[in-house]
Structure 1
């Protein structure tokens, strides 16, 4: 993609160097615009050394017009697919909100409102961030999102450069890069809605002990990112012990995360959404068991050779049985044996558009760990009951494969 990175006058401007480097490594073509304040913190040559195609100053517009008879801010507005302002100072945010065009960055923003998506990363002292004037400017830019695809990436909280503690920190480079493709300001209330279950549920035995599984939720995480990239509203029903990267998704447009612990909690969350989604993707490793839970910790002397349990609610079966004609259901089956008979039996009991069989092993029984927590796994995919794919995929590749088949 063709990406413009605007850099404003902020002590966090140095982080934009690593940001640009990361975008170049991802294969994007990057051009950098430095404001007058930014050049007091960073040097233009640094971006060039790290792969930026061009670096412009605040007044480059004027020299370009004289030398080439071109209008640089119009050319760049037409060239770009995305504009990321990282970091964005309070001054620049105010200028953008007022429609000022007194330097190259603000002129590009004004000229490109209907051509590219803009992501703004505020960075400033907490008092400046919480000032009603700044918040009014932020509100105005967010209201403009209905016409011009603007997203304000919420600042983080923590210790600031001045020593104060509070909101106003620019999001970490690794956080932004990890979810870069999932930042999609075009998602709105009319966008199609995807619900994804992810992670593991737990089955309590008593107030101390429980039974669960090693699902990390990585599959659900990659599917959620792909869903957002494609422009779908995405609700994630997130179980326990899930990978920490989910926290990066919370701030993104179109994203809602609901945390659950037990199978009953997952079931209640699904019931609350069953008439609202277009696609339901059941990646979570949901406990099949439900124990008769003791009110206090079971003592060793009171433990018998067996525990009383019953089958837990089969959530996927409920969703399949109650789906509407427009809804698409994707099921997952975590199995140590991906034989055709096993998967066909599951499909016949719960016929879904896709059934994704995943070869798994916890690795706790003197065997090799497979599937759980890994970045890749062996899959067998049934499409309308017929085997459509068998083999190894990364979880990123699996996410793309699923949506490709849904759209087909």
Structure 2
């Protein structure tokens, strides 16, 4: 699936570039904070401490929004007033621990991730432009002098090596860079109770919305489908009883139509039941259910599932719904040639990823069913991250807490 791998590579490259956009300012801010703390020894730095910590909070909030760290990627709020209160704040302490790590490891990972493709393009295209370099300038890109065409093509082989290395390591580098913020900027349980209360309030509202939407869906399915079929069965059976003595042939035809309507009503009732809790989850587990969804999708799908041990039934049902809705959108709206479904359980988190190489432009609330997905995910205190620039690719990632 080369097109899907290139889509993953482009997504990772964009994320590394965005991470570098916070890592490089982190370097400058780290140097400034070192100066401020040093000046505190002579008293001058105390006047500069509050503005420096506010700058740190703004930069950390940018990283929270980028990586989805903390409660729904919300801001950690204002820095407490007063130097002592600010330094005693656990979130400030957390940000002070995050800053040197992101400034060093985050910058290094971001630079490597951004420069590898640059080196790949430069060295791969070297034979096209090395003769255009003015006399007196050495065009040799690395540790040997290029003096002939064989030397130039050797540089091309090096560029191909950089390209293979880029395709291999960029997704891992992006995960490492984002993982720093997710681990170090996650709010402590007692750091900001008001933020947690706001998150739980939103989660409860999402759960109620999801429940109401599910009830409306079931009611609509029963009213428009099975109920109408059963009414037709009743009418046909009444007509058949009246025709039984005077026209047995017509009564037999009416009974056939009643049987067909009853079978259709039964099929629609089964569909409603499957929508509430798909039996395939009980019979085959999440791995088999997701594989079945991928097999039914008209777009070729690559599936990776690792969910040992199994998650709770409600979490599995939500993950199944996420994959089903995402693959429906892929088939109907994306114009994709390939798709990828990844479902992994890592500790107490179930990660669901659905990616495609289509035209992109997907938005939550744009009528594609993603609003319902968001409500279901929020009902489990989970997070949804959607990356879908115009022109593609699209990547939907859902993280669902699933207990111990």
TM-score by length of 2: 0.25
More strand by proportion, 1 or 2? 1
TM-score by length of 1: 0.24
Ranked by relative contact order (alpha carbons within 8 Å, sequence separation 6 or more), the top structure is 2
